[in-house]
Every structure is written in C-alpha cells, then in structure tokens.
Chain A
Amino acid sequence: MTNKIRDIICSVIMLAFGTMMIVVAKDIPNKLGDKDVGSGYVPTFIGICILIVAVSKLVLAITNKKPSANQKIKWTSDSLGGFGTIALMAVYMLTFEKVGFIIASVVYLFVQMMILSDKTNRKPVLFAIIAVALPVAVEALFVYAIKMPLPVGYLGFGG
C-alpha cells in the first residue's frame, strides 16, 4: 500500500462516517420546537464538517503527484504477536464478567507475557507467579480496602 492509497482509504472511511452522522441526526426529533435548534443540530454540523474535511483530503490525495505519495509502506510488524494480542485482549474483556476478574486476569497475564517474551527472556515459572499474585493482590485491595468488589463470575471465584 502506498501513502496515496492510505490517504484515499482514510478519506472514504471518513466520508462514510460523516454520512452516517448526518443520516442518524436527521431522525433525532426536536422536542422543544422553535425554542431550540434541537439535539440533531450539532451532530449534523459535525457530520458536515467531517464530509468537508474528508472530501478535501480525498482531493489532495488524488491530485498529489509528489514522489512520497507513491512510496510503498513497508509492513515489518509481527502480525502474529499483534493480532494475537488483540484476540487475547478481546477474550479477556469478554470473559471478565463471566469467569470473574481473578481467573480471567491470571490466564490473560500468563498468556500475554508468553506472547510478548522471546526465547531468551521467557520464564514461565516467574510469569505464573506474577499472573497469580497480581490479580489476587488487586482483588484484595479493591474488596477489602476500597470496598469495591470486582466481577466474581459464574464460578463465584474471588470477592
């Protein structure tokens, strides 16, 4: 992908977002009638601004003939590590309530540390100790000191 394509994609996404803002704002009723501009007024204004900026960006991107515009963006990132982290976070956040803070955090911490570490600094025993100790300490702090219980989950673990 080149810088030009990236800017065009960004403009198209923003065009879609701006249009969505305006379309949804159209259906917002004005409860106060003539006395007020209504709750849809500012969102419509923002939507129009987004469309103006998106169109400007699109035009600038298409007409950009500088060598840097066609420069290819190199993908040097570790996809497995990145998408693995996103997937792990999603699982953690989705199971946060169902299995409870402690269990979800223990699993997340251990797996995330394993993903981020390499062969030279991978210490599973240390990771396991931290993965268990931290959630237990945080749970104790919130439940006993701050008096704000964290999710215990269906298994009723913690709290």
Chain B
Amino acid sequence: MVLEAFANVLNPVCLGLIWFGTMLGIIFGSVPGLSATMAVVLFLPMTFKMDPTRGIALLVGLYMGGISGGLISAILLKIPGTPSSISTVFDGGPMAEKGEAGKALGVGILYSFIGSVIGIIALAFISPLLAKVCLLFSAADYFGVAVFSLTIIAALSGKDMLNGLIAGLIGLALSMVGMAPIDAQIRYTFGNYQLLNGFEITVLLIGVFAVTDIILAGFGRKTLSASFQKKKWHLKGYGITMKEFVQQIPNVIISSIIGIGIGILPGIGGSTAGLIAYTTEKSRSKYPEKFGTGIIDGVIASESANNAVIGGSLVPLLCMGIPGNTVAAVFLGGLLVHGISPGPLIFDKNGAVVYGIYIALLVSSIFMLIFERLGLPIFAKLLDIPKHILLPIIMVMCCVGAFSSNSRVFDVKCVLFFALLGLFFKAFKIPSTPLIIGFILGSMFEENLRQALQASHGSWAVFVQRPICLCFLIAAVVFCTLTVRKNLKEKKAAEAAGEQFDTSEEEG
C-alpha cells in the first residue's frame, strides 16, 4: 500500500500539481484577506475530475502553502496574511523594521518547514494514539481548554492588565453577535439580517490590523516619507547560524508539540497555536523582555507551531472525520467528494490515499521550503515600494479580501467599523491582540459551557469533576497568577528605580 502511494504521488503530474498548489497557496496566504481556506475552497471544484490522489495532492499543496505564506506579509507589512500568522507579526515586524527582514523571512520559512515535518511525523506515527486521547474530551473539557486559552490575554496585555481585559472582553462580546450556538437565538443584530452569521474573523483582522495602520499613516502623513527608508537586507542560507539553530531546538520542539496538540483539538486552529507557543516561549525564555522587539525566538515559536497544526489537524480528520479547523473542514469536503470516508477504517479502505496524503504533505513542505526561499528577493522588494503608494494598494486588496470572504459588500463596510475600533484602541492605549483572542475563543467558550451544563443538568460541579477540565482550569489559574505577579514585580522594580511606569502603555 505504501509503495502504491509512492508511485501515485512521485510522478511528474502529481508533483506538478503539488508544486502548483503550494505556489498558489503561498500567494493566497501572503495576501492579507485571502487565506488557505479560500485557496482550498476555490480550487476544490477543479479536483472533481481528477484521480483522488492527484486531487487531494493539489489540495494538500494549497493548504500547506496557504498556512506558510502568511508569514511573508506578517513580516514585510506587519499584517498577518492569514490568522495563523498573527503571532509572527509580534517579532517578525520589528525585525523587518530593524533591517532584518531577510533573516526573519529565512528563519520563518525554515521553521515553517521544520514545524510542518514534525507535524507530519506526528500525523503518520502517533495519530491513532492521540485520536484515542481526544475521544475522551467532553464539552466540559473543551470549556477548560477555552478558559486556559483565554488566560493568554493576561500575558499579552502588556503593562496594563485592565486594558488587556477590556480588549479581550470586547472580543468576546463581538463573538456574541449573530445566531447563538445550541438554540440559534438571534442576538445583538439590531434588526440587521447581515449580522445573523456574526462577524468574519478575516474582516476583523483586516480592519484592526491593516486598515487602522493606514488611517494612522494618514494622521502621520507629514513624517510618512521621512520615516520611510528602504530596508537593506542580506541573507545567507536561511539567515540562521548553527549556534542559533542548536539554541532554538527546545523552542521548535515545544512549539511544534503545542501546534500538534492544538491542531488535534477541534475548533481552535493555527492562530491560537501560534499565540500559545509564542506566550509559552516568552514565559520560558531567559530574556522575555526582548519579545516583541524583534528576535528570532518569537518568529520560530509562531511559525513552527502554526505549521505543525497542519499535521495535527489531520489526525482527528482522518481517524474520526472531525476537522480540527476551518481549512481542515473544507479539506474533509474534498475527501468526501473523492469518495474517501474518514474514520477508523480509512486505513483499510483507502490506505493508499492516506499514505499518499502523508507523502504529498512532505513533498509540499519541501517545495514550500525551496519556493519561498527562492522567491525571497521578490517578496522583500515589497518593502521598496513607497508607503504612500503601497498603503492605498493594500487598502484595495483588503477590501477585495473582505468582500471575497462572503461575496458581500457588508463585510467591506465592517472593515471600516473595525478599523475605527482599532483607532479607538490606539487612542486609549488598549492592546489589539487580546481582542482577537477573545473573538476567536468566544464561541468555543460559550458552546462548550452550555453543552456541559446541559449534560450535567445545570450542575457546575461538572467542571471540577472532569480531570481533564480540572487540569486546564488549574493551569489557567496558575498561569494567570504567575503573570499578574510578574507584572506587579516589574512595576515595583520600575518604581523603586525611580522610573515612570505608565500603566496605560500598550504591549510591545
């Protein structure tokens, strides 16, 4: 079966399709507003008439390229091309500003590849075991996961925890708009039927991260041309020395494991994986204060985690038919279209296709490593475009991206709403990242809370009686306490040193 899979994949047509898919995926991933999901959705109909292995190979390439491509705009434009790359912005952006765009891109690409390969190995060898563990999770356990993930807000709030909480709570509130889970009750739509499905995450990201910056450029237009300097960059290999590579081994292993774990848990996805890995590495680091100022550790944590999600998300998808995230759900549709029914029997019924997926993923990650690296001079050229020309172009692409997410103009208008919200945040020194975390985790938090309470007939004891949930809740309390303690310690140290500690300062 394995040999058959090799023969099916390692032929010119299939390899060409994987290359084409990876290349297009990178383009979709790199353009803000376009996404891996969109790439897989748009090219899914093209695979209908193909042989299953070839069709799936094209989708695999799009998925892999789409997730990885997000790092390009995250680093060069400080705008995450896909939600998975949010945390890449934190250090990738400052690195580019320091003239290390090439190094950030090189490192990002290399560790995307390493994260992907670790994810694929996990998928191929430990998937049945992990799938069994995942089967033990109940709604209460997922609620525990959501609560733990929400505590990331504490770590990402910068020096003012209250401002971080405000942002996180607004994110949660925004996720309440539209039809509620469980009973489809309509909430906070104020009679607007366009809001029935709630806000799109892509639209929120475009508005808060991209368009707000364009408006701010308008406010600072007098210094726009003066502040713009062509970034010089030099890159040898992948921009990392052997010493740095060895130093980063624990980081990449931990981040990839986080990515695989998050990928396996349904409904979370690459953005949360990147954020958790980034925060974990920051907490683990000997120099946490350098995070956000442009160091490779942050880029490595984010990129290895969000690419490891790919392998992780395919574990429950193939073994149980449960998609780990949106793009995996679309991928599931692709498998079904080709007559492949995911489940425990998939290895018996479609073994050759499953092994073909493993091989296609591996080939695609190699293509990604080569193509993105070779294309670096072209991608980095984006920085040479003057901002007064580049920003309006980005704005148009953002509007197109927002429109194409649902083919409706309403989403384009929402972009402006979120851009103004982002502006409000800037004016009041409120960090934007907790807003995104709150928004992403809102529905998961509510759905599992209500499901767990329904199953326990309204008893809240269910959350402490389930060992998995209890572990996550304890971890959440410990993590939150440690972060608050650390913040207070830093504040006292700053005050003792006679430095001004502005509690309203935004995170770095």
Contact = CB atoms under 8 A, between A and B. Distances in A.
Nearest to B226: A118
Give the interface size bracket for B toward A: 35 or more
Nearest to A6: B428
Given A31-B183, A39-B180, A150-B400, A60 B162 contact: yes
Contacts of B397: 138
A46 B170 CA distance: 9
Interface string A17-32: 1000100110011011
A15 to B, nearest CB: 11
A89 interface: yes
B413 interface: yes
A37 interface: yes
Interface string B490-508: 0000000000101110000
Contact of B218 (A29, A53, A93, A115): A115
B393 A130 contact: yes
A116 B162 contact: no
B502 A89 contact: no
Given A14-B166, A39-B182, A96-B403, A113 B396 contact: no
Given A77-B219, A85-B215, A127-B389, A56 B400 contact: no
A46 B220 contact: no
Contacts of B458: 34, 37
A23 B458 CA distance: 24
A96 B414 CA distance: 13
Contacts of A90: 416
Contacts of A134: 393, 396
A77 B220 contact: yes
A90 B450 CA distance: 39
Interface string A121-157: 1000011001000110010001000111011000000
Interface string B420-455: 100000011110000000000000011001100110
B173 A50 contact: yes
B504 A116 contact: no
B284 interface: no
11 contacts: A21-B173, A56-B162, A57-B162, A68-B502, A85-B214, A93-B399, A113-B392, A116-B221, A116-B224, A116-B391, A121-B388
Interface of A: 3, 6-7, 9-10, 14, 17, 21, 24-25, 28-29, 31-32, 34-43, 46-47, 49-50, 53-54, 56-57, 60, 67-68, 77-79, 81-86, 89-90, 92-94, 96-97, 101, 105, 108-109, 112-113, 115-118, 120-121, 126-127, 130, 134-135, 138, 142, 146-148, 150-151
